[in-house]
Amino acid sequence: MTRALYNAARTGLAEILAHKTRSTLSFLAIAAGSVVFIDAFSAIVATYARLESQKEVSGMARMKISQNNSRSVADVDDYQPPPVITYDDVLRLKERVPGLYMVSPEGTNWRNVLEYDGQRVLTRVAGITPEWRKRDFVYDLKGRFIDWHDVDQKLRVCVLVRPAPPEPSNAFFKTMRQKYNYMGGYDMLVTHNDLLGRVIKIDGINFTVIGVLDELPPSRKPPRIWWSGGDYKALAPVTTLMHYGVLRSHNSLDVSIDAGDEKGFDEAMRLVRNFLKVRFGDEDFFVVENQMDAIKESMSRNISSSLVTISLGMLAFIAGGIGIMNVTLATVFARTKEIGVRRAIGAGRGDIMLQFIVEAVMLGLIGGLLGTALGWFWGVPAKVMLGMPPSPIKVWMPLVSVFIAALTAFVFAIYPAWVAAGLKPAEALRAE
């Protein structure tokens, strides 16, 4: 059997080399299918890798409470603005719903003025507590972070966020960034000055910079499916900002909540909604965002897109298989006399079928190997050169792709090989 396979492979290779153009056209579709398969498999692997990163960095059992400013009422005179969530409300929520991993209030009025060394720049100050650090903390910290002593004593301290260098871009995007980046002056100020330990002014009030958060560059940022954070510039104790009027009484706090355990998320959601209803009379005054639903929806879209891509790969494989079947049938009819000679000198039907199946499988293997090389080139160096994240190609992906290519060629070669094996020796010998 081994010798028969060897002879069939040698004969098949000779036939492939003798008809290079025909052979190349035969395995190009197979190669295209391999490229698409590898790219689709990589996309699915990347999606699940982002999910694991999401669990580690941002968690899954999260929700966010915000004012519902889009409520509609039957009579305009009945409209009531949504109530304000205060820091005391956050403390009550923690008492009423114990066991939550994170209850992080956040307040901002979007635009503030920061002054240092005669420079005045536009910034955005967010009032927070130490809970903020439990999730989405993708920074390098210099100095220290805000602690509970700062919050309880309403100390005038702050932490500044220093942006990572922007990714390389063309002149158009640079112009758009200058046009729409209202915080560009702030970015320049904190990038070119060491402000750790210095005193700055925010809306005319002195704050001591106790820490600096360096944003991670894109290459170091953990991949995530869903981003729940904002564009943070400066952080200060929420109680301090409320006490000194940086946050006004009409500024409601948003509250990010993490139940910790995905199994306990639904119960935590029920308790939070019940708290809002009891505390404010109507839970519809607020929007409770469900991060788990958003992540599941995003994952579903990504996987659906990958499955569509895999379907296109399957079509390419089928087209390649049909091409191999046509080529193999043409080869059978062109080598009818050779088949008759082999049958006359003792070759059985199995030997004839083996010869043509091996030749077709070799075409599939060559197409699969070529597609694997092209798939790697597109997934890694080509995407990097185009400024796209490289595909996470695993060792098993090329192996599966080559296997599918060979299997496709094998399946589509069965009929031509069966036709060749069915030729009668006498009729085959008379063929011209």
**Residues 311, 384: contact at Cβ < 8 Å?**
no
Q: Report d(CA 67, CA 254) in Å as an integer.
A: 8
pLDDT at 13 over 60: yes
Dihedral of CA 209/184/245/235: which sign?
negative
Residues 64 and 12 reside in one and the same domain: no
Q: Report d(CA 325, CA 139) in Å as an integer.
A: 57
Give the residue numbers spanning the domain of 14.
Answer: 2-54+301-430
Residues 285 and 319 reside in one and the same domain: no
Residues 285 and 425 reside in one and the same domain: no
Mean pLDDT, to the nearest integer, of 128-145?
Answer: 94
At which of 297, 316, 347 does a domain end?
Answer: 297
Residue 68 burial class via C-beta count within 10 angstroms: exposed 0-12, middle 13-18, buried 19 and up: middle
Residues in the chain: 432
Residues 272 and 140 reside in one and the same domain: yes
pLDDT bracket for residue 160 (50, 70, 90): very high
**Residues 361, 406: contact at Cβ < 8 Å?**
yes
Residues 50 and 61 reside in one and the same domain: no
Residues 413 and 293 reside in one and the same domain: no
Listed residue (217, 256, 227) closest to 133, CA to CA: 256
CA 70 to chain centre: 31
Q: What is the mean pLDDT of the chain?
A: 83
Residues 12 and 138 reside in one and the same domain: no
Task: Please tell me what DSSP assigns to residue 380.
Answer: I
Residues 154 and 199 reside in one and the same domain: yes
The answer to which of 189-198, 344-353, 411-420 has the lowest mean pLDDT is: 344-353
- pLDDT, one tens digit per residue, over 289-302 is 888 888 888 888 88
- pLDDT, one tens digit per residue, over 95-122 is 999 989 999 999 988 789 999 999 999 9
Residues 313 and 340 reside in one and the same domain: yes
User: What is the domain count for the chain?
Assistant: 2
At which of 281, 297, 313 does a domain end?
Answer: 297
Residues 143 and 285 reside in one and the same domain: yes
Residues 203 and 117 reside in one and the same domain: yes
- pLDDT, one tens digit per residue, over 361-414 is 888 888 888 888 888 888 888 877 777 778 888 888 888 888 988 898 889 888
**Residues 209, 160: contact at Cβ < 8 Å?**
yes
Residues 43 and 134 reside in one and the same domain: no
Q: Report d(CA 7, CA 20) in Å as an integer.
A: 20
